[in-house]
Structure 1
Amino acid sequence: MGSTLLTAQDRQTLVNVVYAAFPHSTFPRGPYERAADAVIAEAGTNPRFLAQLLQGLGELDAQRDVPFSELDADTAAAVLRGADGSPFLTAIVDSAVVTLYSDREVWDLLGYEGPSYDKGGYADRGFDDLDWLPDPKIEFEGEVPA
């Protein structure tokens, strides 16, 4: 997807931008690639965004001695912090966040079972079944309700 819009190097840079913006060491590459492809697809419908994307990816590659896609995670994160708030990065993040966290593979990795509305809602099916949080300490002042 998007092969006519971006070069292979540009796409790789975009995948790494999405990873640097939403780093999860336990996520495989697939969800990041699908999120990048969604950004590319959106850019394909918006010439202004496409131009902004191509320019921004080129600028990221030009900031260091090596392309952005070859930077280690800490350096890539530092480079993105320098672009924080820029229209280029904001557009990528706004597009990628929805695709990344709507990805069923990501849901499985995070332990999210998906929406519950078609199963009766959360009140009847485990709104309190989190096993990774400690039980809350409940204290009452005064009389304990009956």
Structure 2
Amino acid sequence: MNNDKKTENHPKNASPQLSRRGFIAGSGAALVGGAVLMSGTGLFAADSKAARKIGEESNRTLLRMARDIYPHDDLEDKYYRQVMVPLAQKAETDPKLMELLTVGVEALNQESKARYGTTYLNVETEDERVVVLKAIEPSAFFQKIKGDLMMGIYNNPEIWKKFGFGGSSWEHGGYINRGYDEIDWI
């Protein structure tokens, strides 16, 4: 039997047929995905005045800090960024807030360098970064970032399902008959 004929018609060896519509749809998705990756390197949108003022490395440092304060591995960076958009917008017109962020990132990096000999962004383990965060926890900078994140992340209906939260219940008559009465571990 001729093996060449057998393998020639095998579905694995067939060349993929790509329609014009499929090509355009795929190209568009790749373009949007690439733009998100390129602009998504920090906590603030890369094209914001606040991101330009604070600098690329500080912007990435803020994102790492946000993820370390509220570490939800299943949450994409976009949710952390969504929370900080109002802060970035305010920092664009509020010099005191911009100074708080700039000086705060500098203090974070100084603490990190004193403990580990490198900037916060380059500290390898989350446990080591938490040590640095605990050292600056009383600062107004830390409290501002933490407070904005807490309200923004946990009040975001878009991610409640990821946390297993069913949302507000008062408009539905409370939690009775919404699955909570079936909990057997209480």
Q: Is the CA contact (8 Å cut-off) linking 2:61 and 2:120 kept in structure 1?
A: yes
Cα deviation digits, residues 108-130 of structure 1 (max 9, x gap): 21111221233333234333344
2:180 equivalent among 127, 131, 141: 127
Structure 1 contact 107–113 (Cα < 8 Å) conserved: yes
TM-score with structure 1 length normalisation?
Answer: 0.75
Aligned-pair RMSD on alpha carbons? 2.3
Aligned 8 A contact 1:68 1:76 in 2 = yes
Who wins on radius of gyration, i.e. which is larger?
Answer: 2
User: Which residue of 1 is the match for residue 119 of structure 2?
Assistant: 67
Query: Are 2:48 and 1:3 aligned?
Result: yes
What percentage of aligned pairs have identical amino acids? 23
Q: TM-score, normalised by structure 2?
A: 0.61
Aligned residues: 133
Query: Would you identify which runs of 4 or more consecutive aligned residues in structure 1 move more than 6 Å?
Result: none
**Corresponding residue number in structure 2 for 1:32:** 80
Q: Which runs of 5+ in 2 are unaligned?
A: 1-44
Cα distance in 2 for partners of 1:70, 1:104 equals 33
Equivalent positions of 1:36-115 (< 5 A) are 36-44=84-92, 46-62=94-110, 63-64=112-113, 65-71=117-123, 72-115=125-168
For CA contacts below 8 A with separation 6 or more, give which structure has more relative contact order.
Answer: 1
Question: What are the Cα deviations for residues 21-62 of structure 1, in whole angstroms up to 9, with x where unaligned?
Answer: 112233332222323334323434543222111111122223
**Structure 1: any 5+ residue segments left out of the alignment?**
137-146
User: What is the CA–CA distance in structure 1 between the aligned matches of 2:93 and 2:182, rounded to whole Å?
Assistant: 42
